[in-house]
Amino acid sequence: MKRTIFFIGNDSRFAFRVSLFAFRVTQITFYLICLVLLSFLNPASGQNNDSSSILHSPSSTRPTWVLVIHGGAGGPGKGGMPADLEKQYTDKLQEVLEAGKEVLSKGGTSLDAVETCIRMMEDSPLFNAGKGAVFTEEGKNELDASIMDGKTLKAGAVAGVSTIKNPITAARAVMEKSKHVMLIDGGAEKFAKEQGLEIVKPSYFYTKKRWDEYEKVHQQEMKGKAEENPKHGTVGAVALDAYGNLAAGTSTGGMTNKMKGRIGDSPIIGAGTYANNATCAISATGHGEFFIRNVVAYDISALMEYKGLSLDAAAHLVVDQKLKSQGADGGLIGVDKNGNITLPFNTKAMFRGTIRSGGKAIVNIYPD
């Protein structure tokens, strides 16, 4: 009898242990399911929720794609530009944004959108890039451009070119079809021709408006009575595509009456252009020498990566404090990996526009 009871007791203890094990497994499974459900209910928990960045975001979730463009910082303040000219600028910026939207909404890459937008501004005489480029002290046009892929950290640039119709396309060709990052002058033009890019005569870049500006500044400097150099900035674009990849590009004709061979920040990776999927994409515009000395575009990325600043906080620190304290004017556009944007400038105007998936194009010239 005792022997029988002994075996029954063992069976009971065994059954109890099995039941306890099953309960623990069920409990752990329940906890895991709860964690998964919470992650779906709160997808933005891992995003940067800095209030300054949220001001530029439509919601707490990352948009499918984002595009930001600029047509340069500087120029007269509000009321200082004829209404019809102002409309030409806003209409063109709107047109450029719509073209970029077409690329991104159909699954195009951020690089494709950046190149498309900058090409359109290079083809317009309104902006100081491509067709609207300013003249050097010798009365010639010398153009610069750069582009960077945030996914691979590859970059390409051209500088001091005068026969390449679209320098931004040449910069992309350098990035994708050469082992180098920057080509200049005749070497860049030779490479562009070998790649089948459109080559034009230097006279293509002539516009009467820019020539008149050059003659005025040139004559003033010859007499030692130079006034403030007219600012016409640069053009640029930054984008975040549906694949989560960032890209940035910048193109310019430089400064009116600049020395032959002068290169500004626009073709310098880290100064006028920078993109890194881990942080942001930046395109700058302003007094290039200061942007080079301060490595402006990369500095913003570094402040985000190493100090944990939001895109907006980092950008305003650089533009409103670092640059301004040195007497440098200009601005920049940026987008981060979460789709937050920033558009700081310390001049009276900056031609700019934004558009994102599910939203409308917004174009501005003067401070908000």
* Catalytic residue positions, numbered: 234
C-alpha dihedral, 254 to 256 to 262 to 265, nearest 10°: -30
Query: Which distant-in-sequence residues (6+ apart) come within 8 Å of 127 by Cβ?
Result: 71, 72, 121, 232, 233, 235, 351
Query: Radius of gyration over alpha carbons of the chain, in Å?
Result: 27
Identify whether the C-beta of residue 264 lies closer than 8 Å to the C-beta of residue 143. no
Position of tokens 């515009």?
285
> In this structure, what is the dihedral angle of CA atoms 270, 276, 342, 235, given to the nearest 10 degrees?
50
Pull the structure tokens for residue 128. Answer: 């100081």
Angle between helices 83-105 and 110-122 (to 10 degrees): 150
| Closest C-alpha among 162, 145, 141 to residue 213 | 141
Q: For CA atoms 188, 193, 195, 199, give the dihedral sign.
A: positive
**CA–CA gap between residue 160 and residue 136 (Å, rounded):** 11
Tokens of 95: 């047109």
Token pair, residue 280, equals 């942001």
Burial 287-296 (b: 16+ CB within 10 A, else e): bbebbbebbb
User: DSSP string covering 230-262, please?
Assistant: PP---EEEEEE-TTS-EEEEEEE---TTBPTT-
Amino acid letter, residue 122: E
